[in-house]
Chains A and B, each alone.
Chain A
Amino acid sequence: MNPADIAELFGQLIEVDDFEVEDNFFDLGGTSVLALQVVLEIEKRSGCTLSLIDVVHHPTPDELAAVIAAKAV
């Protein structure tokens, strides 16, 4: 998944328009429970298994896309 896809997912979950790739998921209203949904959705859409701690430590689409890319190598 690229940063724009992740930004779109974040925006859908938090119900925010125009979620940018450098925006922080938790700063725009993301909660721990929604972060669990992020993990599940990313696994469903890309097959990449993230942990919740990945989302907590890499809360922007840019950062999380890099984590997904690193796991794919």
Chain B
Amino acid sequence: MASRLAVLIAAEGSLSPADLASSCAGLAELSFVADRAESATEHGDDSMLLQVAAGLAPTGLADFADPADCLAAVRQAGADAVTTFVERLCPLAAWLNLQLGADGGNQVPWGRKDLHRQALVQAGLSRIRSLPLERPEQLTEFADQVGYPFVVKPIDGFASRDTWLLPDRPAAAELAAGVARGEHQLAGLFAEEFILSTGPTAPAMADYLSVEVFRAGGREPAGAFITHRPPPAWPCRETGLILPSPLRPDEQAPLIDYAQDVLDAVGARRGAYHVEIKPSPSGPETIEVNGRIGGFIARAVRYGTGQDLGRMALTSVLGQPQQVELRWDRCVLGLLFQPPAAARRVVSAPSRREVSRLPGVIAVEDIAAVGSAVHWRNGTFGMVARLWIAADSHPDLQESFVRVTEFLTDRFGYVDAEGQPVRDLSWLATVAGSAEQERRDVDERRPG
């Protein structure tokens, strides 16, 4: 069993160095390894990351593009196991664990979503057709087979970055033309059939959900839970997370079983995993599988239960079985407020203090500054506000969510690529409409 754990870090990890230092206390000796190239930047998140990490635990530098250099850094740290909470570093962490004899039987080809899909299709867990892209003409050829809409995304992508949802032939032709003009590269992208859904997974929520799964050597009956999402922002951007699940245990069980099957199929045996699922007319379908806990979920669990999900994840990484029993005191929504797809720059924004005073808001982590550049291609991390809302019930949570969304929609201003003002109320309308529907559903369920 590992007692000295090296964590590969970067700015976009789903657990920060501070989270890790707090969660790992007394569990294992912790060290960090950061990318030498990223740490060389003098400004921004990466340089601060290194300062923060070095203040928390021994921190080494390595060239993340050079696995042998990383192995030397990990050995220098005296680590007997490696993990990461950064999606793009999962393949490197897996390779390092293999070299250290600490792979725990894991065989997942992280960084290859196209291979995950193949494995799931072979295991009978997915019916989604996909195609690695090499030529622009393949976009329309693929659409001729599967129809519209369909999705184009990187095989090693994360957080919806560079993900296109192509609704029709003109959209596919426009992307193909962009490739021909050299604006986009097809190498490393693949096309996937759009997964049809059965509708919202619960009232006022998106039509997909995720399952966090903890494994210390294979399937564990009580090592998983479901997280829901608010409706996504066009084209494929996540807007937050909602916990706990309002589904009944008998509704949750088949979804969790499916996530466990998915992990078996891709070869995941030890660690913390995030499986995104869309219930479809033919049964649950996998959107994607990640080799780390989902972004912001540890924080949501902390706000809702006071429990340390990071510690649970690290316990699994270290191969120690556990019961994941979350005891919820309140409902929590992490809001990742996205700018309109046409927006390119923030021209007005509320202050953190104003937002923190809104009813139901319990924490404000970030508000984009006036002048910030924004672009939908940055995916989930293109958000302009990140904050937390809590309530005693899901309907109360939804009510605060709508009010906060109204406020942010009103107070954030943007311009497009030509400098023209951008205003888009469609997401607010979706959120408010969902809330109204939920109120009607609750009234109908209420005894006469």
In the bound complex, what is the Cα–Cα distance between A69 and B228 (angstroms)?
A: 44
Of B15-23, B33-41, B287-295, B335-343, the one with at least 4 CB within 8 A of chain A? B15-23
Q: CB of A2 within 8 A of chain B? A: no
> Within the complex, which residue of B18, B21, B48, B352 is in contact with A15, where a contact is CB–CB below 8 Å?
B352
Q: CB of A28 within 8 A of chain B? A: yes
Q: CB of B430 within 8 A of chain A? A: no
Q: CB of B141 within 8 A of chain A? A: no
Q: CB of B4 within 8 A of chain A? A: no
B25-A32 in contact (CB<8A): no
Which residues of the partner chain B approach A57 to less than 8 Å between Cβ atoms? Answer: 21-22, 25
A29-B352 in contact (CB<8A): yes
Which residues of the partner chain A approach B57 to less than 8 Å between Cβ atoms? Answer: 53
Chain A: which residue is nearest B363 at the CB level?
A: A29
B364-A26 in contact (CB<8A): no
Chain B: which residue is nearest A55 at the CB level?
A: B18
In the bound complex, what is the Cα–Cα distance between A52 and B56 (angstroms)?
A: 6
B18-A28 in contact (CB<8A): no
A56-B352 in contact (CB<8A): no
Per-residue A-contact encoding for B25-60, CB less than 8 Å = 1, 0 else:
100000000000000000000001101100111000
Per-residue B-contact encoding for A6-39, CB less than 8 Å = 1, 0 else:
0000000011110000000011110111011001
A29-B356 in contact (CB<8A): yes
Which residues of the partner chain A approach B364 to less than 8 Å between Cβ atoms? Answer: 14-16, 29
B352-A14 in contact (CB<8A): yes
B25-A26 in contact (CB<8A): no
> Within the complex, which residue of B16, B18, B353 is in contact with A17, where a contact is CB–CB below 8 Å?
B353
Chain B: which residue is nearest A50 at the CB level?
A: B55
Chain A: which residue is nearest B352 at the CB level?
A: A15
Decide yes or no: A56 and B22 within 8 Å by CB, A14-B352, A32-B52 being known contacts. Answer: yes
A36-B352 in contact (CB<8A): no
In the bound complex, what is the Cα–Cα distance between A14 and B57 (angstroms)?
A: 24
> Within the complex, which residue of A33, A39, A53 is in contact with B48, where a contact is CB–CB below 8 Å?
A33
Interface residues on A, range: 10 to 19
A27-B351 in contact (CB<8A): no
Q: CB of B135 within 8 A of chain A? A: no
B52-A36 in contact (CB<8A): yes
Which residues of the partner chain B approach A53 to less than 8 Å between Cβ atoms? Answer: 21, 55-57
Q: How far is the CB of B368 from chain A (nearest CB, A)?
A: 14
Q: How far is the CB of B384 from chain A (nearest CB, A)?
A: 16
Per-residue B-contact encoding for A44-59, CB less than 8 Å = 1, 0 else:
0000000111001100
- Residues 353-377 of B contacting A (Cβ, < 8 Å): 353, 356-357, 362-366
B302-A29 in contact (CB<8A): no
Q: How far is the CB of A12 from chain B (nearest CB, A)?
A: 10
Q: How far is the CB of A33 from chain B (nearest CB, A)?
A: 5
B356-A16 in contact (CB<8A): yes
Which residues of the partner chain A approach B52 to less than 8 Å between Cβ atoms? Answer: 32-33, 35-36, 52
B302-A27 in contact (CB<8A): yes
Q: CB of B303 within 8 A of chain A? A: yes
Per-residue A-contact encoding for B151-180, CB less than 8 Å = 1, 0 else:
000000000000000000000000000000
Which residues of the partner chain B approach A16 to less than 8 Å between Cβ atoms? Answer: 352-353, 356, 364
Q: How far is the CB of A28 from chain B (nearest CB, A)?
A: 5
A15-B351 in contact (CB<8A): yes
Which residues of the partner chain A approach B387 to less than 8 Å between Cβ atoms? Answer: 29
Chain A: which residue is nearest B53 at the CB level?
A: A32
Chain A: which residue is nearest B387 at the CB level?
A: A29
A17-B356 in contact (CB<8A): yes
| A16, A17, A57, most chain B CB atoms within 10 A | A16
In the bound complex, what is the Cα–Cα distance between A53 and B56 (angstroms)?
A: 5
> Within the complex, which residue of A17, A29, A35, A51 is in contact with B357, where a contact is CB–CB below 8 Å?
A17
Decide yes or no: A15 and B356 within 8 Å by CB, A32-B17, A57-B22 being known contacts. Answer: yes
Which residues of the partner chain A approach B357 to less than 8 Å between Cβ atoms? Answer: 17
| B17, B18, B364, most chain A CB atoms within 10 A | B18
Q: How far is the CB of A38 from chain B (nearest CB, A)?
A: 11
In the bound complex, what is the Cα–Cα distance between A26 and B365 (angstroms)?
A: 9
Which residues of the partner chain A approach B366 to less than 8 Å between Cβ atoms? Answer: 31
6 contacts between A and B (CB under 8 A): A15-B352, A26-B18, A33-B48, A51-B55, A52-B52, A57-B25
Shortest beta-carbon contacts, A-B, top 3: A52-B55, A15-B352, A32-B52
**Beyond the given A28-B362, A56-B22, could you list 11 further A-B residue pairs with CB under 8 A, ordered by the A residue number?**
A15-B352, A28-B363, A31-B366, A32-B17, A32-B18, A35-B52, A52-B52, A52-B55, A52-B56, A56-B18, A57-B25
